[in-house]
């Protein structure tokens, strides 16, 4: 069992293990479970850890992203083309891309199979992405921001 001063990497590994068993409803539940495993953590440190490991908040709770984009080169490649991610109402994201890259980005999003995406339309340097809820719009924007930040 780890001691109270376990390093951040071990704590993040423990969070991945917890999330691999299924969604966890709240960050506080993660803090409690980590404490049971001997880790000292606060809600704010767990929040940072979730962001760093690429977990997403869904309607069921916090989960690891299905089909991590790290092993999907077409998704990683879109990061170099996306210039801006802009919400447009509660169910639409507008992605500004490099000139001529919108079709490639739209196709990669289609192939990703992410449940948040209802559909998209790609032009020359703009992609409109429709979601079925405001919450899914936020989740999708966070996913895309992580890819662009890499």
Question: What domains does the chain contain, in order, with CATH numbers?
Answer: 8-64 (1.10.10.10), 69-149 (3.30.1360.40)
The confidence score (pLDDT) of residue 139 equals 87
* Mean model confidence pLDDT for the chain: 87
Supply the pTM of this predicted model.
0.59
User: What's the mean pLDDT in 77-106?
Assistant: 95
CA distance 103 to 60: 32
Quick one: CA torsion of 133, 137, 142, 147, rounded to 10 degrees? 120
CA distance 148 to 150: 6
15 compared with 149, residue with greater pLDDT = 15
CA distance 95 to 118: 15
**Cβ atoms of 122 and 107 closer than 8 Å:** yes
Closest CA to 12 of 60, 44, 45, 36: 45
What's the burial of 46, exposed, middle or buried (CB within 10 Å: 0-12/13-18/19+)? buried
pLDDT tens for each residue of 28-43: 999 999 999 999 899 9
Closest CA to 54 of 88, 26, 15, 101: 15
Calculate ∠ Cα 43-47-50, nearest 5°: 135
Both structure tokens of 96: 């500004």
95 compared with 66, residue with greater pLDDT = 95
Query: Going by C-beta distance under 8 Å and a sequence separation of 6 or more, which residues neighbour residue 7?
Result: none
CA distance 41 to 45: 6
User: Does residue 1 register a pLDDT over 80?
Assistant: no
């Amino acid at each position: 069992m780890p001691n109270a001063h376990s390093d951040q990497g071990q704590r993040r590994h423990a969070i991945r293990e917890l999330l691999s068993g299924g969604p966890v409803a709240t960050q506080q539940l993660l803090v409690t479970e980590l404490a049971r495993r001997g880790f000292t953590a606060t809600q704010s440190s767990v929040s940072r850890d979730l962001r760093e490991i690429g977990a997403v908040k869904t309607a069921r709770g916090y989960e690891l992203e299905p089909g991590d984009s790290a092993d999907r080169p077409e998704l990683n490649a879109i990061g170099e083309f996306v210039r801006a991610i802009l919400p447009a109402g509660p169910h639409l994201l507008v992605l500004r891309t490099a000139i001529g890259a919108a079709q490639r980005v739209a196709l990669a999003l289609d192939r990703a199979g992410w449940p948040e995406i209802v559909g998209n339309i790609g032009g020359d340097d703009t992609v409109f992405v429709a979601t079925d809820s405001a919450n899914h719009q936020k989740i999708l924007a966070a996913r895309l921001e992580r890819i662009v930040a890499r």
